[in-house]
Chains A and B, each alone.
Chain A
Amino acid sequence: MQIEFKVNDRTAVVKEISREGSLVTISVDSKIYVVDVDKVSGEEYSILSEGKSYNIEVISTDDPKTYRVNTIYFGFDVSVNDAESRYNQKRKNKASDGTTDTIRSPMPGKVVKVLVKKGDHVEKGQTLVILAAMKMESEYKAGCSGLVSKVAVKEGDTVEGNQLMVVIGKDVSK
């Protein structure tokens, strides 16, 4: 069996070559490993490779194709790169073609300041809105340069999570 994964900025193909009891010969791209694998609990794996011991947590997320993977020193987001996810990624890339950006609030809060209005030209990275939530103030910036086509909030407004705040470029917020 083989699976292609995406982690950080790398894709890698992992392929099981052979198995003898708990000893598995497995390749990650062109590198071959012989490892002793033991599933310790619902999320923990113990992997012994050339005498070295690794304790890896493989944690499910809401997306059945993405896992949060922890080693003792690092944490990764690993996702399965199969046909379906490749298609979804292509669609996502098409939508954010660099000329439109829809800024939504990530959580409920209060609008502290709105720094732009409809028709303003903004640069990528420019702060558009300041929200206060969870006792802190956060700045929301433009993901691309362009003209502000819609400002849906004003100072003092209370917003829900995922509420539309600002649109740059073509308004595809519906």
Chain B
Amino acid sequence: MMGKTNSPVAIKKILIANRGEIAVRIMRSCREMGIETVAVYSDADRSSLHVRYASEAYHIGPSASSESYLRMDKILEVAKLSGSDAIHPGYGFLSENSMFARKCKEAGIIFIGPSAESIEAMGDKISARKRMIAAGVPVVPGTTEKIEDEGKAIKTIMGIGLPVMIKASAGGGGKGMRLVRKEEDIMPAIRGAKSEASAAFGDDSLYIEKYIESPHHIEFQVLADRYGDAVHLFERECSVQRRHQKVIEETPSPIMTPAVRERMGACAVAATKAANYEGAGTIEFIVDDQLNFYFLEMNTRLQVEHPITERVVGVDLVREQIRIAEGHPLPFTQRQLKMNGHSMECRIYAEDTDQNFMPNPGKITHITEPMGLGVRCDGYIHEGYTIPIYYDPMISKLIIWGRTRAEVIERMRRALFEYKISGVKTSIKYLLKIMETPDFRNGTYNTHFIEKNEEFLNSKVKCDRHCEDIALIATFFEHASRVKHTKRVAPHERTVAVKGWKHRGRRTGMQRL
């Protein structure tokens, strides 16, 4: 497998085992490469953009993910039926499911991603840590063995040094996680974590890591081909998080220095090679204020925030994924990759930020998308579309590029003002407040940012009276003309029951001031 290139294959048709914005994004690259696309859809997604954008589309089941997008059997059936050479899993759903990767291989279908073995190796946190230590990648000081015995746990913790984070070794998502600062809290925390882990994952074994104060979450994008070659495409700063969910990502990181970047990049590449990785992946690090960095975990798939790397490095990551899966060697060396300018992404969610960020599904009545230099909007919704309740409430990703960070922040503000979505509540105004928060503007923030600035972020700015009056004037004209129009309609027509949108369409077609 060293040096010599096996003849690459040419993939002609790809089934995208996903939905929403990422399915559309993947299909765009496929179209550019002359590759046919196959969409799969659930009941709720019949009119969704990914279905209409693809060359072929097949129904795979009821709306619930467990009966559609997570059904490996149905997806493989469609792959065979449509004659797809490859499957792209996107992110979420089956993208990190090693059994699915294995089944694709067994069915003779190329899985656009790493091998089942790599997925498994990096999916098990404890085994991943061991592998990293062996590769010389710094890891968060902690245990390398599962902790089952309480007495052993205390000894280990005192060895690592408080404060520590107790985590479930079988899973994540905040379950089975406890922060311990004081010695007397150790026992209750261990018991609590064990019982939560047991309930959530059926496995109560824990591992323990040193808790890094003021942590930054910085990740590196990597690409690796099947010939053992790997490169990194620099970092993404993802510390603006709410309840462990990323809200804003940017690159380069405002705290990074060229020297640290080079060291972290080298570690990311070493980690990728240690995992025998093939494809696109992300190495997540936790970094303290002194820029000491530690391996946290590896995401063995394409990530939501990949577009900011694409903007700054000038590489189409989906295209590279496909080329790697076809068996081509990487088309660039590390030295050839450069960062140009600054990029930031805001995730736009259908949620009510005034009501504890409760999801706000519903029908989109109006969209005005921001445009102009350096603005990319990766979405999939249209006017009249109802956001389904079965999947996560992400509407789109707003990605901004600029020559400097300051330029990007102002451009993001401008774009967020321009972005008008009616019918559902969105996180746009909350994101605007983040753009105005001094800690963010100065680039001096870490994962505690949202907590620390909660008051400012939730404060309301009142519109001045004059502006409100102008809005009322416009509303007056709109309403007045409708009232006039209704009066003009002949009496017999008034008794006809007309559906809402059609009715509105007729009226707006006849507007006159």
Contacts and interface: CB of A to CB of B under 8 A. Distances in A.
> Does A associate with B in a complex?
yes
Interface of A: 1, 3, 5, 7-8, 10, 12, 14, 16, 22, 26, 28, 31, 33, 35, 37-39, 42-43, 45, 47, 49, 54, 56-62, 64, 67-76, 78, 80, 106-109, 133-136, 138-139, 161
B413 to A, nearest CB: 10
Max count, chain A CB within 10 A of own CB: residue among B366, B429, B467, B473: B473
A58 B473 CA distance: 10
A73 B463 contact: yes
Contacts of B358: 106, 136, 138
Given A43-B366, A73-B463, A74-B463, A134 B391 contact: yes
A7 B471 contact: yes
Interface stretch (B119-127, B129-137, B271-279, B475-483): B475-483
B80 interface: no
Contacts, number: 134
Contact of B365 (A1, A59, A138): A59
13 contacts: A10-B468, A16-B480, A28-B469, A28-B473, A43-B508, A45-B474, A61-B423, A64-B482, A70-B420, A72-B418, A75-B429, A134-B361, A138-B358
Chain A interface main SS type? strand
B500 interface: yes
Given A67-B479, A139-B356, A56 B361 contact: no
Contacts of B474: 37, 45, 47, 54, 56, 58, 69
Given A39-B477, A73-B463, A14 B359 contact: no
A78 B472 contact: yes
A82 B474 CA distance: 18
B303 to A, nearest CB: 17
B393 interface: yes
Contact of A57 (B368, B463, B469, B476): B368
Contacts of A28: 469, 472-473
B468 A1 contact: no
Contact of A5 (B361, B365, B420, B472): B472
B389 A133 contact: yes
A59 B471 CA distance: 12
A62 B422 CA distance: 12
A78 B471 contact: yes
Contacts of A12: 469, 472
A3 B476 contact: yes
Contacts of B423: 59, 61, 68
Contact of A59 (B366, B468, B476, B482): B366
B513 interface: yes
Interface string B351-391: 00000111101000110100000000000000000000111
Nearest to B462: A8
A71 B477 contact: no
A107 B472 contact: no
Contacts of B475: 5, 14, 58, 67, 69, 78
A47 B470 contact: yes
Contacts of A38: 513
A134 B479 CA distance: 36
A144 B148 CA distance: 46
Contacts of A58: 474-475, 478
Given A37-B513, A108-B389, A136 B469 contact: no
Given A67-B479, A107-B389, A139-B356, A7 B366 contact: no
A133 B359 contact: yes
A136 B476 contact: no
A28 B511 CA distance: 23
B471 A33 contact: no
Given A3-B480, A57-B420, A76-B463, A49 B393 contact: no
A70 B295 CA distance: 45
B345 to A, nearest CB: 19
A8 B467 CA distance: 13
A139 to B, nearest CB: 7
B504 interface: yes
Contacts of A136: 357-359, 393
A149 B184 CA distance: 42
A134 B393 contact: yes
Contacts of A22: 513
Given A42-B511, A133-B389, A136-B359, A60 B471 contact: no
B392 interface: yes
Q: Which 5 A/B pairs are nearest by Cβ-Cβ distance?
A: A56-B474, A134-B359, A42-B508, A45-B474, A14-B476
Interface in B475-513: 475-480, 482, 500, 504, 508, 511, 513
A61 B500 CA distance: 10
A18 B247 CA distance: 50
Given A33-B473, A74-B463, A136-B357, 6 more contacts: A3-B480, A5-B472, A14-B473, A31-B469, A37-B474, A68-B423
B456 interface: no
Contacts of B467: 54, 71, 73-74
A35 B417 contact: no
A139 B356 CA distance: 8
Contacts of B420: 57, 70, 75
Contacts of B356: 138-139
A71 B463 contact: yes
Given A59-B366, A59-B422, A134-B389, A76 B473 contact: no
Given A61-B365, A134-B361, A73 B470 contact: no
Contacts of A109: 389
Contacts of B359: 107, 133-134, 136, 138
Contact of A7 (B393, B468, B513): B468
A133 B389 CA distance: 7
A57 B366 contact: yes
Nearest to A56: B474
Nearest to A138: B358
A67 B478 contact: yes
Contacts of B478: 45, 58, 67
Nearest to A50: B466
Contacts of A107: 359, 361, 389
A47 B393 CA distance: 35
